Structure 1
Amino acid sequence: MAPSNPSLGEAVAAEKPETLPSDTVLIVGGGPVGLLLATVLAFYGVKSLILERNQTTTKWPKMDLTNARSMEIFRKLGLADGLRERGVPSNIPYTVIISSGLSREKAITQWWHPSVDEYRKQIRTQNDGTKPLEPYQRISQSIFEAWLKESCDANPLIDLRYGNKVEIVQSEGEDVKVTAVNSQTGKRVDFISRYVVGCDGSSSKVRTGLGIPLDGGPVPGFALLVHFKSKDLARLQKQGQFWHIFFVKDGGMGGAIIAQDEVDTWTVHLFLPLDADHESISSEEAVYSVLGGMGEKYEVKIDEILVRSTYRPNVAVSRSYSALNGRVFLAGDSAHQNIPTGGYGMNMGIADAYDLGWKLSAVINGHGKKGLLDSYELERRPVAALSVEHSKVHNDVHGALGKLLLPDATVINHDSKEGEALREKIDRHYQEHDGENRDLGIEMGFHYKSPINIPDDDDSVHAPVWTASRYIPSTWPGVRAPHVFLNDGTPIFDHFGKDYTLIEFPSAVDLGSKHIADAAKENQVPLKHVVLPGEDNASKIWEKHLILIRPDGHVAWRSDSTQDPSSAKRILDAIVGTQNGEAKEKIAFGVSGSGVVSTQSEEFVLEKMGDLQK
């Protein structure tokens, strides 16, 4: 009989190696990033095989917000409506409360984020390019992941195999060999594939097996998480309906509760020092302790404890996103890990999956070149560094409570001048530092810098100044193109093609768009040409007459005209990765004290990483 949990050494005799067709991508890890990568590949007609070590999807809520940029990606894939149907209803606002305990009638302060319905009204009214097309959506990862798995199971281009734990990834000539052990049979199977993507989480076997180092490490302290059912809304929502409540406790930020579905499912986080004995704390006690804040324990009727675990966040970025001469890639938590503040972690993975997915598909389908794959690391890695830095910025807002509560935290619940003054001080602090889940510049204002984006040839025009708090609309090459509603009420994004799109705002003279279209046809690059006459608002926001859009909605090139067929060919060669790749400079990205991504040489350094590990 095969061992129930065989290691590689104990595994029974290996089966015959399974060689995948050259047009099939092997994905290690069937969590949300791996499932979405397979979905993106299938969207572009490319097959994939997913190997997932677990027997089913996660029971844990994990992430609880799909941000606006991620929702734009799901809209492109035709999945936005299905995701929203399973999430929190669209009329419920996303209120974040700061409380000293539910025994008090009023919270200290709150951040109000509009409901999806309210956000849509803002987007429709403020048609100036500064807003996303899609609002965010609250949805628990346990629901999100199960739904995405169902979608993958129904897709004939996706082969999803649960219960296969990958142990070894190594070179096999020009291909990659992946060795996995089936947890049911104990049999070892070798898979041979042209391309492999590690979406296997923070302890990635793909990354560690290939010796790719991480820069960063775990943060001090950990959290005890209790996921539970309760319909005791009168007591839970005593200070108002909420998405999150952060609780002041023991002279600092002591815990939080998350409303997962606005019905009966909740998750409590009890923040503990590293030397705490979490096993001595019952699940019920953890819930009551967090909800009590600075006061006595606050009991609610718990109907069921669903799951319980501990969690110690890591803050890290992989030193490389690829290996084995561009045959193996990392995406999601295998490439970067983040603390939860800001909600950047899984949303970063979603963007990784789409970026790598369309680029791999273009190469496999024949019109993309190696430079496209090289651009994945050049573009996505600095964005990971940016999100890591700003999740720390958001975390520091909560971390500042310790100093704000001095000299006497206990007065916070007193109905006295001292208590009122302390509560007002905390209120001001949170209102002055309200960027968490609000900073659109982090979510969609980043600028991809790689050779597949062609800079303006007009030296008098400068790239938009980046700011964390706002998305500044621009069509500067490398940035996300601005959303705008056209005269007929349709969003310009809905006119994009599946692959590349040439947007033309025509003028009285010939702009030479035919040269771009002819070059695309000659190079067999799929291109949709969209002509938009009379669109004064959109034309003003989009800045140029001709804008070439990548499959991910970022700008590849722009100009007011192109009259030279040879220039058009050079443009098409560059955007599909023909002219770059082989001479790629080995660089890495760090985060400066100002939060702006900076280029460094030799080693990847997050300058403030040490602060998180003290």
Structure 2
Amino acid sequence: MDTNNTTPSPRRESLPTGTVLIAGGGPVGLLLARVLSHYGVRSILFERNNTTTHWPKMDITNVRSMEIFRKLGLADELRKRGVASHFSHNVVYTAGMQCKEPLAKWELPSVDDFREMIRQRNDGTMPAEPWQRMSQVVFERWLKEVCEADENVDVRYGWKVEAVVEVGERVETTVVEAETGATTVFVSDYVAGCDGASSKVRRALDIPVDGGPIPACALLVHFKSRDLTRIHKHGQFWHTFFTDQENNWRGIIIAQDEVDTWTSHMFIPLDADYSKLDSREVVYTTLAGAYEPYPFEIDEILVRSVWRPHICLTRTWHSPAYRVFLAGDSAHQNIPTGGYGMNTGIGDAFDLGWKLAAVINGQGGPGLLESYELERKPVAARNIERSGVHFAVHQQLPDVVSRKNPRLADEDTDEGREIRAKVQEHYRLHDSENKDFGIEMDDRYKSGVIAPDGTEEPSWQPSQYTPTTWPGARAPHIFLEDGTAVFDRFGKDWALVVFQTGDEDLGQNLLLEAAKANNLPVKLVDLSGEKLARRLYEKKLVLVRPDQHVAWRADSLGSVEEAEQILKTVTGRSETSRLTDGDSEQTKKPDEAFTATEGMQTQVGQFEVEGMAEFQK
């Protein structure tokens, strides 16, 4: 028998207790590693590619994500690498660069202007941080550097996860090193699948995905140009949208750095042979809109690709024994409008990260891990739906102007003025894209680790954040009378916010003593003298989780037993915080419109019915 051709058995390596294995080195996986480290937990991260992305997938870190980076002490460093703070976020709508003027414009503030708005409107409705423009190319490269400098994170690029198997209370993950072909089976307590839309982790768990691609296709060209005179024909912009001769959505150009880097997207027929299209001509045609190609000086073509928008929601976000979890694109995908994709993933990473760390550090029970999907999946479903609402705004434009040639709008005629007026009114009435702070900031978690107080949930709307400490909601942010950001007062872990009058005893010490006995770090934050905070926080005692969401609130606490029961609930140690057989259906169907296969396919089909075929002309 010839033994020379036998394949050697994979090497096995047991990771130290508490180490989390992360599959995927994109924004979500890298951030998860950093969150775990923030709470003292080690991780090992595997990414199949040898380096970070060259593809400019996302270009804005929204206000809630920036609050998370502030919490981690990374917001200032992130901004140093993003678009300079004085540039606006203006969005322009035009029939082509040859037009005398744009058809419409959304004027969105710069970081500097937004920060001043936050300071002046200190009423709890505003975020702690403005948004930040930054290409994913830059974002990933920076976050990788952060993780590589972190002694708690072992970063390994060029290592591909091939299989994941949950075995009792451990997980066996098969990983292949690209350079050598060597195979290693890593044994760990937990695995996080942050490995994107084609997730190997999700497939290994045999978890189905509801939804699919919508009938649209775009050719992306990422390029360098310093020809600002031509590119800024309609002024400085973040995004410019172009229509064709029937006011269909022709394409987009995105300013990546306001210096020399740009990305164009041109919608093409699903069956187009895009290989024959010259990259420069694609850019010129995109910017031409309803006119002839618009040439300008392009210094370098960086990358190009064809992509299709997807609407998808993974049916389950965890393995049967809650040892493997999904986050980011492996769990959900949406249309890019609104910028919800990566930002939803950032929320996933922080939520999963602090909960895993709490359990590993002995500060939480299994109910915390079970709450991850219950809390984050409805958010993903809602954000998927909202991305479709924003997308439809652009789809509706042809019917708004009765499919008239938008070039007519450039003429000084009654018809031209009528077209301009209708387009401007349409975008004025539907300007919520990138302004829906209810979507970005007003996540209200409902799970077994939230202690309800029996009060009615305040009204919710996508267009604005409603300040409330209703259990499960993000706590309101304000600047205190000394100028301090209230979120900064909360600290790293849990915070008990207290509002006393005189020497009254609210029972806060009972909770603090119970927390100490249960190894739970809770910081006392006395805001008794803060009138605005007292009004916004509604109750005299408010317990805030590490993610700045309210876990429990009351006006007083009566006994040690009551305090211990509250902490057992909110940390997932109580039986009432665990899932029952009936509750398990909630993990499958937090929102019928998006988790049931039929509902998701209906949502996908809406785009075909409502005019997506126009992009195929």
Q: For the superposition of Structure 1 and Structure 2, which TM-score range results when normalised by the shorter chain?
A: over 0.9
- Pairing partner for 1:331 from 324, 327, 338: 327
**Structure 2 unaligned regions, length at least 5:** 610-617
Per the TM alignment, residue 14 of structure 1 is displaced from its structure 2 partner at its CA by 4.0
Answer yes or no: is 1:60 the counterpart of 2:55.
Answer: yes
Q: Determine the C-alpha separation between the residues in 1 that align with 2:176 and 2:103.
A: 53
2:11 pairs with 1:16 = yes
**Residues 381 and 150 (structure 1), Cα distance of their counterparts in 2 relative to 1, 3 Å cut:** same
Q: Deviations over 1:270-323 (max 9, x none)?
A: 011212221121100110001111111111100000111111121101000101
**Residue of structure 1 in register with 2:614 after alignment:** none
Deviation at 1:492, TM superposition (A): 0.7
| Structure-2 residue corresponding to 1:462 | 456
Whole-Å separation in 2 of the counterparts to 1:242 and 1:600: 34
Alignment of 1:550-569 (within 5 A): 550-569=545-564
**In structure 1, how many angstroms separate the alpha carbons of the residues matched to 2:389 and 2:128?**
26
Instruction: Describe the SS at the equivalent of 1:516.
Output: helix
RMSD: 1.8
1:404 deviation in Å? 2.4
Deviation at 1:601, TM superposition (A): 9.5
Decide whether aligned partners of structure 1 residues 360 and 613 sit closer, same or farther in structure 2, where only a CA change above 3 A counts.
Answer: farther
Q: Report the Cα distance in structure 1 between the residues aligned to 2:477 and 2:598, rounded to whole angstroms.
A: 34
Q: How do 1:302-451 residues align onto structure 2 when only pairs under 5 Å count?
A: 302-409=298-405, 411-451=408-448
Tell me: CA distance 1:589–1:363, structure 2 relative to 1, closer, same or farther (3 Å).
closer
2:155 partner SS: strand
Q: Is the 8 A contact 1:172 1:192 kept in 2?
A: no
**Secondary structure of the structure 1 residue equivalent to 2:379:** helix
**2:258 is paired with a residue of what secondary structure?**
coil
1:597 CA drift (Å): 5.3
TM-score by length of 1: 0.95
Pairing 1:90–2:88 present: no
What is the distance in 2 between the residues matched to 1:192 and 1:590? 28
Q: Find the aligned partners of 1:245 and 1:600 in 2 and give their Cα distance.
A: 30
- Residues 1:468 and 1:598: Cα distance change in structure 2 (over 3 Å): farther
| Match of residue 615 from structure 2 | none
Residue in 1 aligned with 2:476? 482
Do 2:218 and 2:267's aligned partners in 1 also have CA atoms closer than 8 Å?
yes
Q: Following superposition of structure 1 onto structure 2, how do residues 535-554 of structure 1 map, counting pairs within 5 Å?
A: 535-554=530-549
User: Contact 1:589 / 1:599 at 8 angstroms: preserved in 2?
Assistant: no
Residue 275 of structure 1 pairs with residue 271 of structure 2: yes
Q: Which residue of 2 aligns with 1:230?
A: 225
Give distance in 2, aligned partners of 1:15 and 1:451.
41
In 1: Cα distance, 2:417 partner to 2:438 partner? 35
Greater mean deviation of Cα atoms: 308-317 or 356-365: 308-317
Cα offset for 1:169? 1.0
Pick from 559, 563, 585 the counterpart of residue 587 of structure 1. Answer: 585
One-letter amino acid of the counterpart of residue 453, structure 2 = D
8 A contact 2:313–2:595 mirrored in 1: no
From 472, 489, 495, the equivalent of 1:501 is 495
**Is 1:80 matched with 2:42?**
no
Once the two structures are superposed, what CA deviation does each residue of 1:234-262 show, in whole Å capped at 9, x if it has no partner? Answer: 01001010000000114201100000000
CA deviation map 1:420-467 (0-9, x unaligned): 21121111101100000000000011210001111114xxx3211110
> Counterpart of 2:487 in structure 1: which amino acid?
F
1:471 aligns with 465
Distance of 2:22 and 2:31 partners within structure 1: 11
Contact 1:590–1:598 (Cα < 8 Å) also in 2: no
Q: Secondary structure at the match of 2:107?
A: strand
Tell me, yes or no, if structure 1 residue 199 matches structure 2 residue 197. no
Question: Secondary structure at 1:94's aligned position in 2?
Answer: coil
Whether 1:297 aligns to 2:297 is: no
Letter in 1 for 2:377: R
Distance 1:435 1:589, change over 3 A: farther
Stretches of 4+ aligned residues off by more than 6 angstroms = 598-604
Task: Give TM-score scaled by structure 2 length.
Answer: 0.94
Secondary structure in 1 matching 2:372: helix
SS at match of 1:608: helix
For residue 7 of structure 1, what is the aligned residue in structure 2? Answer: none
Matched, 1:147 2:124: no
Structure-2 change in CA distance of 1:360 and 1:604 (3 Å) = farther
Alpha-carbon distance in 2 for matches of 1:280, 1:590: 44
Q: CA distance change for structure 1 residues 179 and 329 in 2, over 3 Å: closer, same or farther?
A: same
User: 1:401 deviation in Å?
Assistant: 1.8
Query: Are the structure 2 counterparts of residues 149 and 516 from structure 1 closer, same or farther at C-alpha, using a change threshold of 3 Å?
Result: same
Q: Distance in 2 between matches of 1:466 and 1:532?
A: 27
3-state secondary structure, aligned to 2:44 = strand
Measured at CA, do residues 350 and 528 of structure 1 come closer, stay the same or move farther in structure 2, by a change above 3 Å?
A: same
Tell me, in whole angstroms, the C-alpha distance in 1 between the residues paired with 2:428 and 2:586.
35
> Structure 1 residues 604, 543: closer, same or farther in 2, change over 3 A?
farther
Measured in 1, the distance between the counterparts of 2:166 and 2:132 equals 41
Residues 397 and 532 of structure 1, relative CA distance in 2, 3 Å threshold: same
- 1:128-164 CA distance string (max 9 Å, x none): 1000000000000000100000010011110011111
Judged with a 3 Å threshold, the aligned counterparts in structure 2 of structure 1 residues 116 and 277 are, in CA distance, closer, same or farther, namely same
Match of 1:322, SS?
Answer: coil
Question: Which secondary structure does the structure 1 equivalent of 2:495 belong to?
Answer: strand
Secondary structure at 1:113 match in 2: coil
Measure how far apart 1:209 and its partner are.
1.7
Structure 2 residue corresponding to 1:512, chosen from 502, 507, 526: 507
Task: Please say if residues 481 and 530 of structure 2, whose CA atoms lie closer than 8 Å, have aligned partners that are also in contact.
Answer: yes
Corresponding residue number in structure 2 for 1:5: none
Counterpart CA distance in 2 for 1:405 and 1:600 is 32
Count residues with an aligned counterpart.
Answer: 598
Compared with structure 1, are the counterparts of its residues 176 and 260 closer, same or farther at alpha carbon in structure 2 (3 Å cutoff)? same
Q: Which amino acid aligns with 1:362?
A: A
For residues 120-159 of structure 1, what are the structure 2 equivalents within 5 Å?
120-159=115-154
Which of the residues 160, 175, 181 maps onto 1:165?
A: 160
